[in-house]
């Protein structure tokens, strides 16, 4: 695609963001004189207030997992106290090292890492993607050092997060995707068939993003362990829900360090851990693997330099508020929050089952994906967007999902969602093919045209950075 075509595509995409950018003057260069602080704060408050209504009223799938004003105000106070903190300088901010070590320890204990001898270890990262990238790069380097693997491969189900594909692209690895059954769970036999001498890691999800279904981690990890291959459980989405769901009596198969073959786990504190974006925990069964994650150099003129994760300087305030979110919530708070989320999700799932033409995919607990053989599901998605809902469109198979959070447990939110969904299904039945997103997803479904969609996504990235 040449520059002219990219510009034409950008013009098509830009109107989506233009209203927000036209509301106030754009700063394409530094103002000649610094602006008044009160004026800037008023502008920022106006922007924030305009965006708050949708997610605060439960119109968003995932995205904001707690969202209570009292909780947000508390985290903002914590952030302000440590806004200058940087864990790159532990001599200046030793408190940040306390917060990070304790967040890792608390998360490890929740996922049975503290039961190991020696206990599991880990690091705090900037989010699930960084946790996954670090894990895959570490497995690559470990396999190169211990087995001489020079053409590394990751074996992961096709439902595994896109961050595993990103890791493969960034670090010169090959991602080998295995299929899933009608229940959206991975077949351990397919994993076994995909393993080669080049495999450096096997991946399973608890739960996976598209359909909210947990892979059979015990069986998959056993297959990896037979070959001496590391197994990573991606619990970024489920890590702060499944332990409490299990306590509440829901059917939860082991996915964490209770499973002997599991060698690492990623778990996001900034999702159902109720910390602000962005923080995540990457845990390792043994310290040798974590050691390969670290970066250190001894011959730089600037002095000795090290970093445990990709970033050098990091916002210590995010570490502080992750710690604060966990200690103020406590076990009782996570149990109650999980009870509310899962009860609401069950009510929404029952309602979806009662809408003619829709079917729920798999057996999810709180991330509910639904498809249809009778109406255009992307027409339904567009209809819901027109009513203010921000849902996730899926493909292979075409579907839509809602990730239920505490925002949906408010009075009347589930009922509003189901009423709007029922209406949008009927509208899609009466007027098929009118969805704005249907042509884009249709292109993505055809191998010969995926390159066009790839360019569309890259152009959208261009648009995001236009002032």
Name the DSSP letter for residue 120: P
**Which residues pair with residue 402 across a beta bridge?**
368
Say which residue the tokens 């450096």 belong to.
200
Q: What is the full DSSP assignment across 267-333?
A: E-TTTTT-PPSS-EEEEESSHHHHHHH-EEES--TT--EEESSS-SS--HHHHHHHHHHHHHHHHHH
Q: Tokens standing for 106?
A: 């608390």
The pTM of this model reads: 0.92
Asked if omega into 278 is within 30° of 0 (cis), the reply is yes
Residue in 262, 261, 268 with CA at minimum distance from that of residue 235 = 268
Number of DSSP helices (H) and strands (E) in the chain, helices first:
16, 13
**Which residues pair with residue 205 across a beta bridge?**
234
Residue in 281, 278, 317, 282 with CA at minimum distance from that of residue 63 = 278
| Cα–Cα dist 356/422, whole Å | 9
266: three-class secondary structure by DSSP: strand
Beta pairing, strands 121-125 & 174-178: unpaired
pLDDT (tens, 9 = 90+) of the chain, 467 residues, equals: 566 766 666 666 666 666 666 777 788 899 999 999 999 999 999 989 888 989 999 999 999 999 999 999 999 999 999 999 999 999 999 999 999 999 999 999 999 999 999 999 999 999 999 999 999 999 999 999 999 999 999 999 999 999 999 999 999 999 999 999 999 999 999 999 999 999 999 999 999 999 999 999 999 999 999 999 999 999 999 999 999 999 999 999 999 999 999 999 999 999 999 999 999 999 999 999 999 999 999 999 999 999 999 999 999 999 999 999 999 999 999 999 999 999 999 999 999 999 999 999 999 999 999 999 999 999 999 999 999 999 999 998 999 999 999 999 999 999 999 999 999 999 999 988 766 665 565 555 556 666 777 777 777 777 676 76
Going from the C-alpha of 34 to that of each of 31, 134, 467, the distances in angstroms are 6, 40, 19
């Amino acid at each position: 695609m040449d520059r002219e075509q990219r510009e034409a595509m950008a013009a098509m995409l830009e109107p989506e963001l233009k209203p927000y950018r036209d509301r106030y003057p754009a700063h394409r260069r530094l103002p000649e004189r610094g602006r008044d602080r009160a004026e800037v704060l008023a502008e920022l408050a106006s922007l924030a207030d305009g965006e708050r209504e949708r997610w605060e009223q439960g119109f968003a799938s995932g995205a904001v997992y707690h969202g209570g004003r009292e909780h947000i105000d508390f985290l903002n106070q914590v952030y302000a106290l440590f806004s200058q903190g940087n864990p790159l300088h532990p001599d200046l901010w030793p408190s940040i090292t306390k917060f990070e070590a304790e967040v890792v320890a608390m998360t490890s204990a929740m996922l049975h890492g503290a039961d190991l001898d020696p206990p599991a270890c880990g690091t705090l990262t900037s989010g699930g993607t960084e946790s996954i990238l670090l894990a895959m790069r570490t497995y690559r380097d470990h396999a190169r050092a211990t087995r001489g693997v020079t053409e590394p491969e990751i074996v992961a189900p096709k439902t595994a997060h896109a961050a595993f594909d990103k890791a493969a692209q960034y670090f010169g690895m090959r991602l080998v995707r295995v299929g899933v059954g009608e229940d959206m769970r991975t077949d351990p036999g397919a994993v076994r068939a995909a393993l080669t001498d080049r495999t450096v890691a096997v991946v399973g999800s608890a739960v996976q993003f598209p359909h909210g279904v947990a892979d059979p981690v015990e069986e998959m990890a056993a297959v990896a362990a037979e070959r001496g291959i590391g197994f990573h459980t991606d619990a970024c989405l489920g890590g702060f829900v499944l332990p409490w769901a299990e306590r509440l009596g829901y059917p939860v198969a082991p996915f964490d360090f209770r499973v002997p073959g599991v060698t690492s786990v990623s778990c996001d504190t900034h999702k159902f851990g109720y910390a602000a974006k962005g923080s995540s925990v990457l845990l390792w069964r043994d310290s040798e693997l974590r050691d390969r994650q670290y970066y250190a150099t001894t011959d730089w003129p600037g002095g000795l330099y090290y970093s445990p994760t990709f970033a050098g300087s990091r916002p210590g305030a995010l570490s502080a508020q992750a710690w604060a979110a966990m200690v103020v919530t406590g076990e009782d708070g996570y149990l109650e929050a999980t009870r509310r989320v899962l009860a609401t999700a069950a009510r929404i799932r029952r309602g979806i089952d009662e809408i003619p033409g829709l079917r729920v995919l798999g057996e999810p607990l709180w991330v509910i994906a639904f498809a249809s053989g009778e109406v255009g599901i992307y027409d339904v998605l567009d209809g819901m967007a027109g009513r203010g809902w921000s849902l996730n469109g899926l493909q292979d198979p075409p579907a839509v999902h809602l990730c239920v959070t505490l925002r949906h447990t408010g009075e009347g939110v589930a009922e509003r969602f189901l009423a709007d969904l029922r209406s949008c299904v009927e509208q899609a039945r009466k007027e098929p093919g009118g969805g704005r997103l249907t042509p884009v997803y249709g292109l993505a479904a055809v191998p010969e045209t995926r390159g066009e969609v790839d360019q569309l996504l890259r152009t959208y990235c261009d648009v995001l950075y236009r002032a």
